[in-house]
Amino acid sequence: MCGIVGYIGNREAYPILMKGLQRLEYRGYDSAGVAMINAAGAMNVYKKKGKVSDLSDFAKGQDITGNIGIGHTRWATHGEPNDVNSHPHYSQSGDLVMIHNGIIENYASIKEGLTKRGHTFKSQTDTEVLIHLIEDIKKSENMKTGHAVLAALNQIIGAYALVVLDKNDPDTLIAAKKGSPMVIGIGEDEFFIASDASPIVEYTKNVVYLNDEQVAIIRRGQEIKLRTIKDKEIPLYVQELEMELEAIEKGGYEHFMLKEIYEQPRSVKDSMRGRLNAEKGIVQLGGIVDHIAKFKNAKRIIIIACGTSWHAGLVAEYLFEEYARIPVEVEYASEFRYRNPIIYPDDVVIAISQSGETADTLAAIELAKSKGATIIGVCNVVGSSIPRASHAGSYTHAGPEIGVASTKAFTAQVVVLTLMALQVAKEKGTMAESKFSQLLYELESVPSKIEDVLKQKRFNKTHCRYL
């Protein structure tokens, strides 16, 4: 989940948006984009893979005027990082654009329905599907954009912080959130939107935090209107920001590592999102469905990784052996690649890497591939080298990790590997139904259990010193 900024007021939006995006750079991201509506009513969208400075170079000399606009830094979850998949995304007519942090779980079925209704999509993102859905509802139900946003959000499953800009309404921004943070700053005749307070704090200390399933209609020169997605009006609760800029960049925590430890209930949930349903007895990583026969036929699994990912591999060894009854060898990628290992064509090789760029792991993959093994990647960065070099795999969806000692990236790896072991066990029939079902329920409760641990008084930042 990366960065969101928005501005509506009397000043030029572009410099405020760009500065805001720079303030959010600490979160890590793979591409950036902005959209502004100029005085003549034209909407200009500029987006680029790479850094905010690449976007700024790209926008040089182009029309960047307008006193309403939105900006985004993306951490890809659906579709590789490239210019087209970058945000903002257009609706079918091009009249609406949207930026979004999060994951729309049921985007595939919505996309299928929209395609049948004549929609065409430019990107591979879940985000583009949602803005198409909003416009589809707006047109077919003859609704205002704000109401169409409410209606669409009732149809989706997932997490979002989003802002919609309507070319035909250059005086309004519509923001909504669920499971991803969103804050609105109230200035003198101007409003600022951001995914955390760092882009806002230099302009105003009066802020409104959106709660889950709330939508804000922000009109030029008017008071913000807040509604739930069920169309219930909510009174505005304006708070004063007490933090200083530096603290806010770390979300109020003293260190990124501490912040990332506290993000784990969310990152674990994101890693399981759409993949686990205990009530229905379903565990399914879409990425490995087509390769499940390879697991079934494998006489052994080799896990290759380095550092933290290697430790996640050690946990996975226990899980695959116990649940799926497949022998597992866990190898340090740098050792594996230099020691002429024995690899059989029916081996399944699981390559784990947070960044998806670990050089030794990549080299080990190439070696295993050359011997005919099946490669399954488990990575956090969409479109990185290891997922591209693998036959199949699953992303961990932990979001960017700044702390050098890994926390949420590690737990997300363990979650994905647990899901994988359970899925293979189910397919192989190596586990009793009752045990399988019990484990799915236990897994589902992990985020709230982590929350409980983090709430305990005994858990405080001194723990981090020992980690």
Q: Which residues in this chain contact ligand GLU in the complex, by CB under 6 A? A: 1-2, 74-79, 85, 100-103, 125-127
CB of 176 vs ligand GLU, minimal distance in Å: 14
CB burial of residue 339 (10 Å; 0-12, 13-18, 19+): exposed
Output 177 or 337, the one with its CB closest to ligand GLU: 177
Output 107 or 410, the one with its CB closest to ligand GLU: 107
Distance CA 72, CA 177 (A): 15
Output 74 or 275, the one with its CB closest to ligand GLU: 74
CB of 98 vs ligand GLU, minimal distance in Å: 10
- Write down the H helix ranges in 141-218: 145-153
Cα–Cα distances in Å, from 236 out to 49, 233, 277? Answer: 37, 9, 36
Instruction: Give the strand pairing for 96-104 and 43-49.
Output: unpaired
Distance CA 53, CA 416 (A): 34
| Token duo for residue 33 | 């984009």
- Write down the H helix ranges in 339-466: 359-370, 385-389, 408-428, 433-444, 446-455, 461-466
Distance CA 51, CA 184 (A): 25
Task: Encode 342-368: b = buried (16+ Cβ within 10 Å), e = exposed.
Answer: ebeeebbbbbbbbebebebbbbbbebb
CB of 75 vs ligand GLU, minimal distance in Å: 4
Output 156 or 186, the one with its CB closest to ligand GLU: 156
Place of tokens 């379903």: 282
Q: Which of 165, 225, 162 is nearest to 2 (CA)?
A: 162
DSSP E strands in 84-222: the ranges are 89-90, 96-104, 158-166, 172-178, 183-186, 191-194, 206-209, 214-219
Output 5 or 421, the one with its CB closest to ligand GLU: 5
Output 59 or 76, the one with its CB closest to ligand GLU: 76
Output 127 or 418, the one with its CB closest to ligand GLU: 127
Collapsing DSSP to helix, strand or coil, 305 comes out as: strand
Output 263 or 347, the one with its CB closest to ligand GLU: 263
Q: Which of 414, 457, 454, 23 is nearest to 258 (CA)?
A: 454
Distance CA 102, CA 127 (A): 9
240 near 205, Cβ under 8 Å?
yes
Helix, strand, coil content of the chain in percent (nearest 5): 40, 25, 40
Collapsing DSSP to helix, strand or coil, 259 comes out as: helix
Output 30 or 331, the one with its CB closest to ligand GLU: 30
| Token duo for residue 328 | 């597992």
Collapsing DSSP to helix, strand or coil, 226 comes out as: strand
CB of 382 vs ligand GLU, minimal distance in Å: 7
Output 24 or 148, the one with its CB closest to ligand GLU: 24
CB of 174 vs ligand GLU, minimal distance in Å: 17
CB atoms within 10 A of CB 96: 26
Distance CA 318, CA 327 (A): 9
The CA-CA-CA angle for residues 97, 22, 42, to 5°, reads 30
Output 2 or 333, the one with its CB closest to ligand GLU: 2
CB of 421 vs ligand GLU, minimal distance in Å: 26
Cβ neighbours of residue 147 closer than 8 Å, sequence gap 6 or more: 138, 141, 231
